[in-house]
Structure 1
Amino acid sequence: MSDYSTNRGLHHVERVNKTEFFVYFALIFALAILPHVVVWLYQLIRHARLPRLDPISRALKDAEAVTPMIFRG
């Protein structure tokens, strides 16, 4: 005989619409590009060498990190 009362606290996780995720990802990416370009140029001038990551890579990393946090809560 199975005891089904032990899994009572679990709930089904709803899937997020991919379109909504992409819209948030695109907005965060677009808003992150400008600050990263400014910081990249500042580091380029200050250190007289290219930074390890370009501004687009940094903005993508930020968007990839922040967007899932929006849908977790």
Structure 2
Amino acid sequence: MSDQSAGHAHRTPKAEFYVYFVLIFLVAVPLSLLAWAGSVLRHQRLPVHGPLARAWLEAKAITPAIFRP
């Protein structure tokens, strides 16, 4: 029989992932709001994504990068 445990990556606990996600999201909200308002003033139209959607996408992109080996 072969060792089946050698090829499995270490999984990060979900609770820790969500704690980081929420913290990054909370930091990203005011920054996204400023970027969104600047975009509205600059282009005179509403962007496709609102400030909360932008913050969500930022947190969704940054959080997994923290846990990459």
TM-score range relative to shorter protein: 0.7 to 0.9
Residue in structure 2 matching 1:27, options 9, 23, 32: 23
Shift, 1:24, TM fit: 0.3
Residue in structure 2 matching 1:63, options 55, 59, 65: 59
> RMSD between aligned alpha carbons?
1.6
Aligned to 1:43: 39
User: Structure 2 regions of 5+ residues with no counterpart?
Assistant: none
Question: Equivalent residues in 2 for 1:13-24 (5 A)?
Answer: 13-24=9-20
Cα deviation 1:13-70 (Å, max 9, x = unaligned): 1111111000000011111111110011111112211111101111111111111111
Residue type matched to 1:60 in 2?
W
User: Which deviates more, 17-26 or 41-50?
Assistant: 41-50
Moved over 2 A (4+): none
Residue type matched to 1:66 in 2?
I
Larger Rg: 1
Q: Structure 1 length normalisation: TM-score?
A: 0.79
